[in-house]
Chains A and B, each alone.
Chain A
Amino acid sequence: MVKFSVKHLSLFSVVNAIILICLAIITIYPILYITAVSFSDTAAVLQGRVALFPVGFNLDAYAQVLQDDRIPRAYLNTIFYTVLGTTINLLFTAIAAYPLSRAGFFGRKFFMVAIILTMFLNPGIIPNYLIVQELGMIDTVWALVLPNAIWTFELIILKSFYENMSEGLREAAVMDGASEYRILFQIMIPLSKPALASIGLFYFMGHWNSFFLPLIYLNDANMYPLQVVLRDMLIFSEGGVNANLVDASALAPQAMKNATIVLAMVPVLLIYPFAQKYFAKGVMLGSEKG
């Protein structure tokens, strides 16, 4: 009987494995293709000889991209916005989640209802824009980091995490005369590193990949982050004319465009193997609440 089931299993498993391998290839192929083209000769790309591996390996495209000073500048901008933004996000979320996690906290219920309500009240682009404008934050980095300093979902996740942490620890600290600040910064935050890492990952990706907010809040091209520059280079031509109509590929050599895409992908793909664990956890925590 064992023999029979093993035989049967293997047929099923083979078919299943083939399907999954096909799915994996479909998923990863576009990314590999883009990368291969970015390293290939322009001639080879135009003749359609690149399929999976670079043809005529060279770094010309990267050299060209880095010569155009827009990309390096945008890169630095993105790094700056991401680091500052994620730091603010984590700090704000942590110091907000801690009081809310405390059972007897003054006004806790009221605050929670008010916070959760905002998940349903989303007045849209224009009113948000007007607030940022009235606060004089247009064309400043604050427009990118402050209006989204806390994501309600992430706040609720961290709050639940703190609620589930041992009450004994806190009481011991209180006995030792620790202030709430000390408890938060020296006990709760260090102990909640896994939770902070997973929500931090989402904040990080939010900033790194953000394109719409910088697009509407920044007019100064020198301040553009990578995603907006990418859009200008790859999707729209400079005059704001929709390049789709003229065929975007005529604007820049294929290899150069793909090199730009690869450069934008590298940081997220670099953190991705390390982030996996936290990523899956974050998705799960998120789905539990929604």
Chain B
Amino acid sequence: MSQAGVEAASTPPKKSAPRRKLTAFQHMKRDRQLLILFIPCFLFYLIFRYGPLYGLLIAFKDYSVFTGIIESPWVGLKHFINFFSGQDFWKLFKNTLILGVTSMVFSFPFPIILAILLNEVRVKWFKKSVQTISYMPSFLSVVIISSMVIDFLSPNNGIINQILSVFGFESKYFLIDPNWFRPIYIISDIWTHTGYEAIIYMAAIAGISPSLYEAARVDGAKRRHMIFNITLPSLMPTIIIMFVLKTGQLLRIGYEKVLLLYNPMTYDVADVFSTFVYRKGLLEANYSYAAAVGLFEALVAMVLLLSSNYMSRRLGGKGLW
């Protein structure tokens, strides 16, 4: 409690109503029970959210496990210079950007289409069943989804190759072909997330005033007119805000799935910042270099997130806060 108090004592709430004027100490004393409840949360954020910022120091040091963070010698920007001048930088930058942008562009329309189609269903049990099925995959873990992908694409008895062989194609090993990595990643992503994201659009559609549809019906509008002239335009604000927010998370690619699906044959197109950091840092124990790469990624991600949040607020939506 005392720690929480000291931390916040620098901003005493002086502007409270005159009849309840409290000094910081009185205020703390009054709220002591709440402050005690708050201790775990305070420690959690201090240690696990702000603590790692101190670990970032190693990006500017030559860290070794034996000397520890403090004792390791300072090396300035050495790791950053190495990273930016090497060829890894451009490869990672390109892959992260391409994978992020293409998966966003291709997967973005699907939840909207699904929500609109579902909205047009008048039979309630059917609508409910399809929706329930649609978000089933979002309950599955990335390991299970990757296993399924590998299983389905297996050259020996994967179902995709079996189907191909029916049409007289040779069986193909998709997962070691660099040309196939991105499509596989994106398609499995669409399969996983469409139903989940459609929920948001379904809710937005539910908020459209029924009187708009009534009026259109009186004017003799057909279903497709209503979709294109009422539903879609009414969804536009939600669509724009979702798009902006997704842009902010462009760099946060599902690196776990990349990690599970890639292999040395596809590193050239599949390696992204996070997977590179994991390999260099944790597998090859190149902590400082990996931390420098991670720091760069974090900075770019932060700029993207902040600007997208700003954009989404400018466009009249809610930002992250």
Name A residues whose Cβ lies closer than 8 Å to a Cβ of B. 5, 8-9, 12-13, 16-17, 19-21, 23-24, 26-28, 30-31, 33-34, 45-46, 48, 92, 95-96, 98-100, 102, 104-107, 109-111, 114-116, 118-131, 134-135, 146-150, 155-156, 179-181, 184, 205, 208-212, 216, 227, 230-231, 234-235, 242, 244-245, 247-250, 254, 257-258, 261, 264-265, 268-269, 272-273, 276, 279-280, 283-284, 287-290
Contact = CB atoms under 8 A, between A and B. Distances in A.
B141 A227 contact: yes
Interface string B202-245: 01000000000000010000111000000000000000000001
Given A33-B159, A235-B150, A248-B150, 9 more contacts: A5-B217, A9-B122, A96-B44, A107-B8, A122-B298, A181-B33, A227-B143, A234-B147, A276-B132
B277 A121 contact: no
Contact of A254 (B48, B118, B157): B157
B114 A130 contact: no
5 contacts: A92-B40, A106-B13, A130-B69, A211-B141, A245-B264
B40 A231 contact: no
Nearest to B163: A48
A242 B264 CA distance: 8
**Interface extent on B, as a size class?**
35 or more
A30 to B, nearest CB: 5
A211 B260 CA distance: 10
B298 A27 contact: no
B294 A269 contact: no
A85 to B, nearest CB: 14
Nearest to A26: B191
B56 interface: yes
A95 B121 contact: no
B186 interface: no
B8 A268 contact: no
Give the interface centre of B28, B34, B48, B298 by most chain A CB atoms within 10 Å. Answer: B34
B101 interface: no
B151 A128 contact: no
Nearest to B42: A111
Chain A to chain B: the 3 pairs with minimum beta-carbon distance, closest first: A107-B8, A124-B294, A96-B41
Contacts of B137: 27, 31
A85 B189 CA distance: 27
Contacts of B5: 106-107
Interface in B15-45: 16, 24, 27-28, 30-31, 33-35, 37-38, 40-42, 44-45
Nearest to B28: A106
A254 to B, nearest CB: 6
Nearest to B135: A279
A230 B147 contact: yes
Contacts, number: 294
Contacts of A155: 41
A151 B118 CA distance: 32
A212 B142 CA distance: 10
B48 A28 contact: no
Nearest to A284: B203
Given A99-B38, A209-B140, A231 B203 contact: no
Contacts of A46: 157
A142 B231 CA distance: 48
Given A26-B191, A116-B321, A13 B148 contact: no
Interface stretch (B82-90, B92-100, B300-308): B300-308
Nearest to B249: A290
A210 B133 CA distance: 23
Contact of A99 (B37, B58, B245): B37
B294 A120 contact: no
B278 A127 contact: no
B121 A13 contact: yes
B157 A231 contact: no
A76 to B, nearest CB: 17
A119 B309 CA distance: 12
A19 to B, nearest CB: 6
Contacts of A116: 320-321
Nearest to A91: B40
Interface string B253-295: 0001001100111000000001001100110000100110011
Contacts of A13: 120-122
Contact of A131 (B37, B52, B217): B52
Contact of B151 (A17, A99, A257): A257
Contacts of A209: 140-144
Contacts of A27: 133-134, 136-137, 191, 194-195
A231 B34 contact: no
B195 to A, nearest CB: 7
B152 interface: yes
Contacts of B147: 230, 234-235, 257, 261
Given A107-B11, A180-B34, A244-B263, A127 B146 contact: no
